[in-house]
Chains A and B, each alone.
Chain A
Amino acid sequence: MNLSESKDFLVSTGSLKEVRTFSREVFEKINLPQEQKDELVLAIAEAAQNIVKHGYKDVEETNDRMEIKISLKESELEIGFFDKGKAVVPGNVQHRKLDDIKPGGLGTFFIKQIMDAAVFKKDQKGWVNHLVLTKKI
């Protein structure tokens, strides 16, 4: 099955619910166990949250939008995130150590647990960051 759907969202914590709704609607069209769909929705929501939280850190309000593109080609799922926030230095994207129990720092860990790969691409035409998450399903 091949599929490709994208949608843009205002960069805001208030958009995270819309991001999940969009993701759930797309995954409804794919034959996957519900548990795996829930995990993928979590990974997408965490990546979108990272854009809001880190890409727009210290920005109180913005009219900028972010775009999420979910594509499935054969059994390769690819999820792209485009944003115009602060440029990400990939080497600085790290989760906290799990035994260092404190609030925060788990979103990136969840993404890495759920997905096969998370890569920042250099082909961000008109955007600042282009994150690609992939998973064989």
Chain B
Amino acid sequence: MTYKVTEEGNISTVFLNGEIDMDVTEKAKEVILPIVESGKEVHLNLKDVSYMDSSGISVLIESHQKALENNTKVIVKEVSKSVLKVIMMAKLEQILNLE
């Protein structure tokens, strides 16, 4: 997994790339959670994420919940078809902010 972060005003966009499994979840959390904890709105762009398993879904849930605690939000954007299927299998499409 690789990533890129861009900033515009109070919005940080995290572009994740590759496959998100248990081997990289700590790295993903190290990138996303500090931004959320700073109170910024985070846009997670998943257009280049080709695979995500339950560990990756956990990162999305944790980010979402941490955002609620910090009175901000995480918006999950441009979800690839294969990742959307896993999100829907977990019945999270109504819980996460998907765009």
Partner-B contacts on A (CB < 8 A):
13-14, 16-17, 20, 35, 38-39, 42, 45-46, 49, 52-53, 98, 101-104, 106-107, 109-110, 113
Contact = CB atoms under 8 A, between A and B. Distances in A.
Interface stretch (B6-14, B37-45, B70-78, B87-95): B87-95
B91 A17 contact: no
B21 A38 contact: no
B53 A107 contact: yes
Q: B-side binding surface: helix, strand, loop or mixed?
A: helix
Contacts of A38: 82, 85
A49 B53 contact: yes
Contacts of B92: 101
Contacts of A107: 53-54
A83 to B, nearest CB: 16
A109 B55 CA distance: 13
A50 B11 CA distance: 36
A14 B58 contact: no
A42 B86 contact: yes
Given A98-B91, A101-B95, A109-B90, A46 B54 contact: yes
